[in-house]
Structure 1
Amino acid sequence: MNKLKKICLILIFLFLCSCSSRSNDYISPESETMKICYEIADRMAEQLRAKKITSLKIIKVAFVNIDNINRVSPNGRAYSEFIASRLCQQGFQVVELKLRTNNVEIVPFKGEMMLTYDQYNLAKEHNAAAALLGYYQNRRGEDISVFARIININDNVILASQDVSSL
């Protein structure tokens, strides 16, 4: 390969690296967003305990953009990670689907997405009773809404729900 081609490849690589580091879709682990997600999880845990649901195995999937359910951003993945982490701290069992892929597609740079509508098969395969799922919506630049739900897989009933705007 001649010298000009090598230089062009290096410049393209550097350009792509610089683009990825400028993403506005990154959440610092010490951020206010993490604290808000923990609060969402705490409130959902309170709702579950109020219903006397204290032992629950929950499947976690990445949150998706409510305006485009095929799009998962780093924020969508982070919201579910923060909330699931806090639910674990609250004593609930959360199933990590990244290790099991029969009914879940792991899409590079997007995250895990459920591929089945057969909730009974999904519940049986993962020995889980519920799913943590959610949506987010970007509105007016910095304004973001997050809608988190814990759903009973057997009947699709919402067991706990918490919504937050302006993250």
Structure 2
Amino acid sequence: MTPLSSPRNHAILLLACFAVMVAACYPKPKAPTPDLIDAGYYIVDQLLAQTKIPLRPDDVILVTTFADVSNLQASSTMGRMLAEFTASGFTRKGFLVKEIRLSPYNVYTVKREGEFVLSREIGKLGRQYKADFIVAGVYGHTGNRTYVNAKLIAPATGDIYSTVDVVLPIDS
């Protein structure tokens, strides 16, 4: 008997084949899907990394509800939650984020849809809240993906200091 054909080697080969078969039948882990919390934090990281001027911790930032690109007067739970997680990301980094829903001012709202900022209103909103920057964003669903765009805007001038684009898969 050759060393390769010994009963011990047959057992090892049999065990190896069995291990391969079990591994092949075992469900493969899915790649993690980014969630809205991750997306909000990613938006903050990218807006800060790509800004044309450095932000200071005492800068006041307003984060508006992300609007549906097909109807800029509308949003959804996703748009409101994405704004919340973006605001949370700025707060975690030490920035002062103002909650505009808690203010006595009449903010630009649309029937419980959230707060929106339109280009002609951005200066007024910035003055009302003494904001140094406003984060405004839109999203749109196409096929099995949601595309998100966010901008860091100086309300006094309307200048865009940084932008970020995010693609989120839509789970079926």
Deviation by residue 1:85-127 (Cα, 9 ceiling, x = unmatched): 1011111111111012524134443112347835444323211
* Counterpart selection for 2:41 from 35, 38, 41: 38
Q: What is the alpha-carbon distance in structure 1 between the residues aligned to residue 148 and residue 66 of structure 2?
A: 9
Secondary structure of 1:166's match?
strand
- For the Cα contact (< 8 Å) 1:103–1:114, is it kept in 2? no
- For the Cα contact (< 8 Å) 2:61–2:132, is it kept in 1? yes
Stretch deviating more after TM superposition (99-108 or 51-60): 99-108
Give 1 or 2 for the bigger CA radius of gyration: 2
Percent identity over the alignment is 26
Q: What is the alpha-carbon distance in structure 1 between the residues aligned to residue 133 and residue 106 of structure 2?
A: 15
Alignment RMSD, CA only? 2.4
- For the Cα contact (< 8 Å) 2:66–2:116, is it kept in 1? no
Q: What's the TM-score once normalised by structure 1's chain length?
A: 0.71
* Counterpart residue number, 1:76: 79
Q: What's the TM-score once normalised by structure 2's chain length?
A: 0.69
Unaligned runs of 5+ in 1: 1-30
* Counterpart selection for 2:134 from 115, 121, 131: 131
Q: Does 1:88 align with 2:103?
A: no
Unaligned runs of 5+ in 2: 1-33
* Counterpart residue number, 2:148: 146
- How is 1:89-108 mapped onto 2 (pairs within 5 angstroms)? 89-108=92-111
Q: Tell me the CA shift for residue 157 of structure 1.
A: 0.9
Go from structure 1 to structure 2 and tell me whether the alpha carbon gap of 1:117 and 1:100 turns closer, same or farther (over 3 Å shift): farther
Go from structure 1 to structure 2 and tell me whether the alpha carbon gap of 1:137 and 1:117 turns closer, same or farther (over 3 Å shift): same
* Counterpart selection for 1:156 from 148, 155, 158: 158
Q: What is the alpha-carbon distance in structure 2 between the residues aligned to residue 103 and residue 109 of structure 1?
A: 13
- How many correspondences in the alignment? 136
Go from structure 1 to structure 2 and tell me whether the alpha carbon gap of 1:73 and 1:101 turns closer, same or farther (over 3 Å shift): farther
Q: What is the alpha-carbon distance in structure 1 between the residues aligned to residue 94 and residue 113 of structure 2?
A: 28
Go from structure 1 to structure 2 and tell me whether the alpha carbon gap of 1:94 and 1:101 turns closer, same or farther (over 3 Å shift): same
Q: What is the alpha-carbon distance in structure 1 between the residues aligned to residue 45 and residue 118 of structure 2?
A: 29
Secondary structure of 2:82's match?
helix
